[in-house]
Each structure stands twice: as C-alpha cells, then as structure tokens.
Structure 1
Amino acid sequence: MSEQTQQRVTSGQRRVVVVGAGMAGVQTAVALRELGFTGAVTVLGAEPHQPYDRPPLSKAVLLGKAEGSAFDVEFEALGIELRLGCEVLGVRPDDREVDTAGSGTAPAAVPYDVLVLATGAEPLRLPGTEGVPGVHLLRTLDDTARLRPVLARQHDIVVVGAGWIGAEFATAAREAGCAVTVVEAADRPLSGALPAEVAAPMTAWYADSGAELRTHARVAHIEPGEVVLDDGTRLPAGAVVVGIGARPTTDLLAGSGIALGPHGEVLADACLRTSVPDVYAVGDCASFPSGRYGERLLVHHWDNALQGPRTVAANIVGDATGEPPVRYDPVPYFWSEQFGRFVQYAGHHAGADTTVWRGDPAGPAWTVCWLRENRLVALLAVGRPRDLAQGRRLIEAGAAMDPVLLEDPARPLKAATA
C-alpha cells in the first residue's frame, strides 16, 4: 500500500471505486452517502449514457411509451464522481488500481482504497451469429434503440429462447403487431427456472397472445430473412432476438487473483466480500452463500441489485467505525410482465419437499407454494400480488404452514399458518 493510500485510510478519507453503473453500482454509491461515508466515491460506467434502470427496456421503452429510464439520482449533489464511457480492462489488487481504456494508447489507472465490483451480466450469444445482420440482443439502451424500429415496421420476428426475457420481448412484439415465433430447445418455457408442472400451464399463454411457441426446436443457422431449424424447418424472420440466458461480466478480472465460481461469477462471502481484501462484489456478477437456503445463490434479478448494495455500503462504513459486519441473506424476488399477466416469484424452491397449488392454473390468477418440512420456502404468484406480499414475509419469518389450509385460494396466505 502506498504512503498516500495509507494516509487516506488512516484519516478515514478512503477512496471507493465502483466498477459498473447499473442498479447495483449506482445504489452502492448512493447507500454510501446515505450512511455518512465522506470519502471519495467514483463510479465507472462502460456505457456513454446516464445510468438507467433495465426492466423498462423490454416494456415501455421498447414500445416507445417512454424515452428512457435514467435513475433519478443527483450524482453531483451527492459528491459522486461519475465516469461514463469508461471501459475497465483489468484490476490489480496488489497496486490497488483499476486499469481503464483511457483516452490514449496506454491504459489509464484509477487508484482505489476499496473496490466494489458491480459489473452485472451480459447476454449469451447464439453461436455463429455475432455480426450477423438482423440478429439482436436485449440488454442495453442501445439494444432497445435498435429494436424499436424493428417493431415499428412489424417484421416477422423469431425469438430464440422461451425464458423470462424471451417471453417479455414476445409480449411487446405482439403488442406492436408483429408476427412472433418463439423457438425453445427444451420441452417447455422457463425450463431452467421452474419445474415442469409449474411451467407447463404457461405454454398456453403464447397461443392465447397469437405467438407461436415451438419447443424441442434448435437453431441450425440463420440466413437472410430466415431461421433454419435443425429439422430443416425454415421460419420467416425479418429479425431474430436471442434470449438464451446471461453470464456474469467478469472477464476483466483475469489475473487479478479474485476467486470465480463455476459460472464465471465472483465468489463473494456472506458479507459480499471477495477473496481479495477490500474488494466487494454485488448484483448479477456475484454469488453469495445463503444461510437461509443452505447453498450458494447466483441471482440475476433486479431486486438483488437493489438490496445487496446496502450490505456492501454498511460493511465499507463499518470497517472504518469498527461496527460488526452485516451479512447478506435475502429472500430472492423477481417479477415479469408477460402476455397480460403479472408473474411474481419469491424465495428459492430447490430442496422443497411439498408443492401446494392455490387456484386453477388454467385461470387468470393462481399461486404455487413450495414447502420444506412444512415451512414456506418459495412461491410463484400469477395475478395474485397479495399472496406474494404475504408469502414473502412468511418466508422471511420461516413460518410453518398448514398445507390443507394453504390450498384454499380464498384464504389469505397469512391465515394458513400451522
């Protein structure tokens, strides 16, 4: 540690550098100020745009109902330095420096005392399609800008992947009047997220909306104006949108010594610290051990990027004041708006031993609850926000439930405790 760095640490005027200007990065910077941190805070964002929220990109912004989704944060007033269009190339923990592309030929080093990795995740590309005209991803504001005229021209669109993002884009494309075919390699939508019996009722949503869903279908290659499947089927495609998942954005950590997991994610501890001193990781780029569920979780959802920064900020401030460390063990939560339905999920259903249905999955509103030893560990609510709100609190409390009472959709969830 340099003498200058040691002086800053000793005086309490540490410099925090946050890599990533998405929800997790911005909220970390804001939370530091809210908790009274008075040192320098710098946020490095690779995109040139003002930091923005991502969920509206696949909804209002995509359909032209909103021009953007910039965060309502007064960075200057909060004393937060925002460097946009600043690509981070690497991290050198021994020197406590971050290398950025800079403006010249040599990398520009940014010194830090505490580093927060909030690099997010990047969408997976369909092999062999990089640079192919008419093939799109949907993750950034620029992606949305490229897709809006596609919807306006009402192209025939092929969506590859029937996960959350594929369903949301298909919903928007149908609303825009496009003919939509969704191609899914598995036997059902959301195959990687939900059990077969829970995802199966969602298959009908596609046809109800006028979209065609093709399962057990794989893309062989893409030709101008067509998607060719591995069985030889040719689908007309004025545009192709790929939504087959995402991977943590951590390539920049090569050679840093920061430990990564099997999915390329940063392995954070229960306080969101990495394997390297004074380096934290938060949001989509990091996994963390959950005491609640007894396993390590990698959560690629908005609420995780909102909640985790409060833990990181509290621990950065606490390191200087001697406060005990704060552990991060949330009940994961996410939502999706698709085909006229509001879908919400809370918890983590892996390891559950009982599944309880509330309502008819063929109807407009129903809930699935997962129990482990009769304690509620997760639920999926379709058009039943009250179930979600009550269920989330019951999961946090580790409440024991009566499965028979739980089956009655007319009974409030909180009234079905054992």
Structure 2
Amino acid sequence: MTETHLFEPAAPLPSDASVLVVGAGLAGLRTAALLREHGHAGPVHLVGEEPHAAYDRPPLSKHLLDDGWHVDLGEDLGIDLRALDVDALLGTRVTRIDIDGEQFRAALVPTGSDGTDDELVVDAVVLATGSRARTVPGWEHALTLHTHDDAVRLRALLGGRERPRLVCIGAGWIGSEVAGVAAAAGADVTVVEAAPFPLASALGSDGALVAPWFAAAGVTLLTETAVAAVEPDGVILTDGRRFDADVVLAAVGARPAPLPDGSLTGMLATMFDGDVVVDSGMRPLAVGEVPDGLDLGSLSTADPYVTATSGPLARVRVVGDAAVRVSHRGLVRSGHWDAALTTPDLAVRALLDPTAVLADPVPYVFSTMLGHEVAMFGERPSGTVPVLRGDPAGDEGWAALWFVGEGPSSGEASSTEPSGTDLPDAELPDAGALHDPDSLHDAGATHEASATHDDGLRALAGILVVDRPRDVAAARRLFRAPSLPRLDPVRAADPTLPLR
C-alpha cells in the first residue's frame, strides 16, 4: 500500500475569498461567526432551509411543554449576523453544488419550490446540512421531533388535552426526554423500545442502570417490544397488543440530511448512513489512495479515498451532524449538540490556517430526563463492565466509568458481558465496527490508550455522570487531554474522593 498523508496542509484560504455555508443551524451559525472572528474579510453566505433564525434544538424536547422550549441561538450566543456582514438566506435550499474550475457553482431555490431561482459562485464551501429525524415506512401517522415546526405541532397536540395518551416509539435520548416531560405534565405515557434496554445505542446493556427511572416518573416502559403498525389513534405491537394513543411519537434516531446534488457531492467519501468522512480539520476525504487501516467495506462505495490538499476540495469543510471525523480515538460520529458547537472551530481554523494545531474533542452528550441530570463523555466500549461510582439506586447521584485495557477493576457489574476487552493497535475501526453503533469506536483506541502500566492506572474510555455536577466538571477536565485519561479504578469507585 502506498504511503498516504491524511493531514498534509493545503494552501490557506485567501482573506477575500467568498464562502458558502450550507445550513443555518447551530453548526452553520457558528461557522459564519467564526470566519469573521478569525479575521476572514471575504463574502460569507449562510443558507438555511427553515424560515426561522437559528434556534437551539435541545430545548425542543427537554422543555417541550414549558416556556423555555425555544432559544434564539443568535441572541443566546451573542451573534449578530447583520453586524458581522453575513448574507443570511433563510427559507432557501441549496439543491446542487457543482465544481466549476477552482470555484463552486450552487443552485438556490426557495424552500418548497421546484424551480431554480438563483445561482451563487463561491471560492469555498462549508456543509453544515445537519440531520433529520429517522422515519419508518408505514408510520405516516407518527410524529417526529427534530425541528421548530415539529415541536409546535407536538406541543399543541399534547397541550390541547387534559390527560393526553402518548405512545413514544424509542427509548433513546429524545424519546426518554419527551416521555419524562409529558408524564410530568399529566400525560399517560407508554414508551415502546425494541432493544432490551433504554438508551441502548449509547449504553448497551448498561441501559439497565437507567431503566427504573421510567416507572419512577410515571412512564410505562416496554422493552424488547417491536411495533407492527402505527394507526391514527394508536399502535399495534408485533405480539398483537394494541395501545390507544392521542399522539404517537417516533423517536427512533436521526440520519444526516441529504447533501445537495452535483459534482461536489459525488466526490465525497460517505459512510453507510450518509455521513461524510472528514479528517481532524473537518476536511472531507476524496477519491485517491487508500489510507492505511481504512477498510473500504465501511464506506458507501468501492472507491479509495484520501484527503485532498489541492484543488477545489481543499476548500471544502463538513461540520456538525453531517460529518464523521477520523480521530486518534477512532471514527468519531457527530449527531449531538456539542459537535455542532465545536467542529466549526476545527473547520474554520483549518480552512484559514492549514498548519494550525487542532484539538480532538471527545464525544459529549448532556440530557435532562425523567427527573435526572445526565452527562456522558467519551464512549462505552462494547463488552465492558462499568466501574460504578456511587449507588444508582440511591439519592446521591452516581457515575458509571468504562475502562479499556487489562488491569484491575472495581465496582459492581451491571452487565453479564465479559470485561477487560482487548483493543487492537489500530487508528481506524474495521468495517464490522463501523456498522455497529454500539462498537463504533472500540477498534479505534490507540495502543497508548489501552496499554497496561505497573502503576495500576487504566485508560478511561467513557463516563456517564448522573446528578453529580462536580463529577461533570471533573470529567470535562479529564477529557481535554489529547489521549484518554488514566485513573485508578479503585479510587474512582469511591464517591467520597475527587474524580482525578
């Protein structure tokens, strides 16, 4: 295999170059603002499909039925696009982007229209196209919750009845948040989950630790239960049972939104779900040589790819939910609020200064659900048993820590899965791992992260913190390091000791 250079610097973007940012959510808004913050003087065009100014998505579920459900991001973040001289085009779709010599030609149409209305020629493109709620054929009577308008509709239906009956399909982050909010407001809530545990995509079998929260919040949780059909007034399960409902919410995940058509999109390496594969500077991988360790079975085509360091693709970046990032930790998926907040900085810095030293942000998720404050840093490696810090059945808060590599461990096991999973010395996961969300990053740990040392310390791959604000702050500090933090599992299991 020929040698490849995934991170070879390209030429910096000229200060007077024009930039098109596709997508006006958090990632797009941050990108436009950061271009100006870092001194870029050229024209910046921010184009978004929705007619609304950029808004915060987490409150759509966490505060669905109270007055805090809608947060204007521009105001909240102190970003005034007009003052920054950013050309914001809302209610507008970018239908295609074609490479035209050293530039890009984009077709723009009003949302809901089929005819071409305008054309824009720019020097650089940032794709911040975000994601969409996953839908299931035959579930047309189920609502989804991803956009402002989705929340308006769901809020009206749940708030318009004295005791609405809600069936939520899916016990992931969004489904669990909405279930708790609706139950607290007096709704009769049933959650139907096909997996054996709630939050299974993030926690695997350790989702059993949070399962008691549902009953405590007045929510009926049905696990290992699949939906056969969604009707206007209820759902039918595969075992024949029927649950009446005034509202059915399908909360079964999200997928990257479709990219614009055109010759640009055709050159981007994508995963099976449509995520664009990017390097540490959010530069897309493009047709070229095969990077060492990258199994082509994980990509959506049979073409080999490498990061472009010259030509138009060197002036393309992909941020937020649309990207999956090559990291020393493996492949890091976006799909959460924090990625939309942090990845634009990587993209803008690499675009304006390709030699810039960039951070490697660890995956981070936060939630308020079913009466608990939850934060998760890093990943849960498949097949590991967590070290428990505190008692999940108690009232003082607790944490679950997942270590990698051989060595002593401590704490109760919440799973019957084998512990001490060995991780290969690879920078990129294999194809099987890429198609299994629960093991996506397992094969990506470096030798340094999984090595055993005589000091009794082990590498911490991930931590779930529940109702312990100090541990959240400590975990945030720990995961700022360029490599996985190393802790003594015995000490970490003692909730009376600082987490360090």
Scaled by the length of structure 2, the TM-score of the pair is 0.76
1:357 pairs with 2:388: yes
Spell out, residue by residue over 1:65-94, the C-alpha distance to the aligned partner (whole angstroms, 9 max, x if none): 136311112110111111000012122124
**Cα distance in 2, alignment partners of residues 408 and 68 from structure 1:** 39
**Cα distance in 1, alignment partners of residues 277 and 50 from structure 2:** 25
Asked if structure 2 preserves the Cα contact closer than 8 Å seen for 1:271 and 1:326, the reply is: no
**Cα distance in 2, alignment partners of residues 227 and 304 from structure 1:** 34
Secondary structure class of the residue paired with 1:101: strand
Secondary structure class of the residue paired with 2:203: coil
- What residue is the counterpart of 2:67 in the other structure? 65
**Cα distance in 1, alignment partners of residues 176 and 262 from structure 2:** 34
**Cα distance in 2, alignment partners of residues 209 and 181 from structure 1:** 11
Displacement, 1:396? 2.9
**Cα distance in 2, alignment partners of residues 84 and 263 from structure 1:** 26
- Structure 1: runs of 5 or more not aligned: 1-8
1:106 pairs with 2:116: yes
**Cα distance in 2, alignment partners of residues 401 and 74 from structure 1:** 43
- What residue is the counterpart of 1:137 in the other structure? 144
- Structure 2: runs of 5 or more not aligned: 1-11, 287-312, 406-457
Secondary structure class of the residue paired with 1:195: helix
1:311 pairs with 2:350: no
Q: Percent identity?
A: 39
Asked if structure 1 preserves the Cα contact closer than 8 Å seen for 2:235 and 2:245, the reply is: yes
Asked if structure 2 preserves the Cα contact closer than 8 Å seen for 1:49 and 1:84, the reply is: yes
Secondary structure class of the residue paired with 2:39: coil
Asked if structure 2 preserves the Cα contact closer than 8 Å seen for 1:308 and 1:328, the reply is: no
**Cα distance in 2, alignment partners of residues 251 and 358 from structure 1:** 43
- What residue is the counterpart of 2:204 in the other structure? 195
Asked if structure 2 preserves the Cα contact closer than 8 Å seen for 1:289 and 1:297, the reply is: yes
Quick one: structure 1 residues 208 and 16, their matched pair in 2 at CA, closer, same or farther if it must change by over 3 Å? same
Displacement, 1:357? 0.9
Displacement, 1:183? 0.5
- What residue is the counterpart of 2:184 in the other structure? 175
Quick one: structure 1 residues 33 and 234, their matched pair in 2 at CA, closer, same or farther if it must change by over 3 Å? same
**Cα distance in 1, alignment partners of residues 170 and 192 from structure 2:** 6
Number of residues paired by the alignment? 395
Q: Which amino acid aligns with 1:247?
A: R
Asked if structure 2 preserves the Cα contact closer than 8 Å seen for 1:352 and 1:377, the reply is: no
Displacement, 1:362? 1.2
Quick one: structure 1 residues 68 and 403, their matched pair in 2 at CA, closer, same or farther if it must change by over 3 Å? closer
Match runs of 1:8-407 below 5 Å: 12-60=15-63, 62-66=64-68, 68-71=70-73, 72=75, 73-94=79-100, 96-102=104-110, 105-130=115-140, 132=141, 135-152=142-159, 153=161, 154-196=163-205, 198-253=206-261, 255=263, 256=265, 257-274=267-284, 275=286, 276-291=313-328, 293=329, 295-318=330-353, 324-350=355-381, 355-364=386-395, 365-373=397-405, 374-397=458-481, 398-407=484-493
Q: Which amino acid aligns with 2:401?
A: C
Q: Which amino acid aligns with 1:81?
A: D
**Cα distance in 1, alignment partners of residues 385 and 188 from structure 2:** 40
Asked if structure 2 preserves the Cα contact closer than 8 Å seen for 1:311 and 1:326, the reply is: no
Scaled by the length of structure 1, the TM-score of the pair is 0.90
Quick one: structure 1 residues 389 and 51, their matched pair in 2 at CA, closer, same or farther if it must change by over 3 Å? same
Asked if structure 2 preserves the Cα contact closer than 8 Å seen for 1:156 and 1:179, the reply is: yes
1:411 pairs with 2:497: yes
Secondary structure class of the residue paired with 1:87: strand
Asked if structure 2 preserves the Cα contact closer than 8 Å seen for 1:42 and 1:80, the reply is: yes
- What residue is the counterpart of 2:434 in the other structure? none
**Cα distance in 2, alignment partners of residues 329 and 119 from structure 1:** 22
Asked if structure 1 preserves the Cα contact closer than 8 Å seen for 2:27 and 2:343, the reply is: yes
Quick one: structure 1 residues 304 and 104, their matched pair in 2 at CA, closer, same or farther if it must change by over 3 Å? closer
Displacement, 1:176? 1.7
Quick one: structure 1 residues 353 and 192, their matched pair in 2 at CA, closer, same or farther if it must change by over 3 Å? closer
Displacement, 1:315? 1.8
Asked if structure 1 preserves the Cα contact closer than 8 Å seen for 2:60 and 2:69, the reply is: no
